[in-house]
């Protein structure tokens, strides 16, 4: 694209006593993904994120899922956020803002992304009890917000996600990730009309 000079592909590895993550991302990909976290429903969500944000994403994550999937899911979100921040570089020439409204059958989710450099998450609208629901046998609904927190805080994004409707927990979670993906796709895209860093401060 016009004005693009940097390569927005990075690899981040993170090892703790609870998990081991090896993640590669290319913000200018085609949406190709190869994801193994040991948590199949999370693989499904990350695959949807890659596909609908046109981000190439490879993840190998292993962790103490015999205790609970929480550590591995959260830590993968942290590393994904770190990788996004690194890959965005100085944010020269990008649109910066994106928004999307995405249905999955009866579920409807809205997401707005600002590649602001300031971590902030506003997450609303999941139906009562969603956080306690097990999806795919291991993934609690509570982890959807927790993953958005991990990505947002580590990538330095302002993200609003609002669930406008939905009944099936799988549909709701997937609609949220797809809406986030579509909004992020717009925000990270190079805009040929943007010169320099899209902020009156001169930095993001
Ligand atoms: Mn946690």
Distance between Cα 70 and ligand 1 center (Å): 6
The whole-angstrom separation of Cα 149 and Cα 145 is 6
User: Model's pTM, two decimal places?
Assistant: 0.96
201 inside domain: no
CATH number at residue 40: 3.30.230.40
> Which carries the bigger pLDDT value, residue 200 or residue 157?
157
Domain span including residue 170? 3-188
Tally of domains in the chain: 1
Q: Is 80 exposed, middle or buried (0-12, 13-18, 19+ CB in 10 A)?
A: buried
Q: What confidence tens digit (pLDDT) does each residue in 97-134 have?
A: 999 999 999 999 999 999 999 999 999 999 999 999 99
Those residues whose beta carbon sits under 5 angstroms from the ion ligand 1 are 74
Distance between Cα 154 and ligand 1 center (Å): 14
Provide the pLDDT for residue 2.
45
Mean of pLDDT values over 61-68: 96
Distance between Cα 68 and ligand 1 center (Å): 11
Mean of pLDDT values over 8-30: 98
Distance between Cα 72 and ligand 1 center (Å): 10
Q: The tokens of 45 are what?
A: 């969500």
195 inside domain: no
Q: The tokens of 158 are what?
A: 């302002």
149 inside domain: yes
Q: CA torsion angle for 112, 50, 52, 120 (degrees, to 10)?
A: 0
Mean of pLDDT values over 185-197: 95
Residue 6 pLDDT grade (very low, low, confident, very high; cuts 50, 70, 90)? confident
Distance between Cα 109 and ligand 1 center (Å): 23
Question: Per-residue pLDDT for 90 more than 60?
Answer: yes
Distance between Cα 74 and ligand 1 center (Å): 6
Calculate what percentage of the chain has a pLDDT beyond 70.
98
């Amino acid at each position: 694209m016009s004005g693009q000079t940097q390569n927005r592909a990075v690899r981040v590895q993170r090892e703790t006593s609870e998990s081991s993550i090896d993640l590669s991302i290319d913000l200018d990909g085609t949406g190709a993904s190869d994801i193994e976290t040991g948590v199949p429903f999370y693989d499904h969500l990350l695959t949807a994120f890659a596909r609908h944000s046109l981000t190439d994403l490879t993840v190998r994550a292993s962790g103490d899922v015999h205790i609970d999937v929480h550590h591995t899911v959260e830590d993968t979100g942290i590393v994904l956020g770190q990788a996004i921040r690194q890959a965005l570089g100085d944010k020269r020439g990008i649109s910066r803002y994106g928004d999307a409204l995405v249905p999955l059958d009866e579920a409807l989710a809205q997401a707005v992304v600002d590649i602001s450099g300031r971590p902030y998450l506003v997450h609303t609208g999941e139906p009562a009890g969603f956080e306690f629901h097990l999806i795919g046998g291991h993934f609690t609904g509570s982890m959807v917000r927790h993953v958005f927190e991990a990505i947002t805080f580590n990538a330095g994004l302002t993200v609003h996600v609002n669930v406008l409707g939905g009944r099936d927990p799988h549909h709701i979670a997937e609609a949220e990730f797809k809406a986030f993906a579509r909004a992020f796709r717009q925000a990270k895209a190079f805009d040929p009309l943007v010169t320099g860093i899209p902020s009156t401060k001169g930095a993001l």
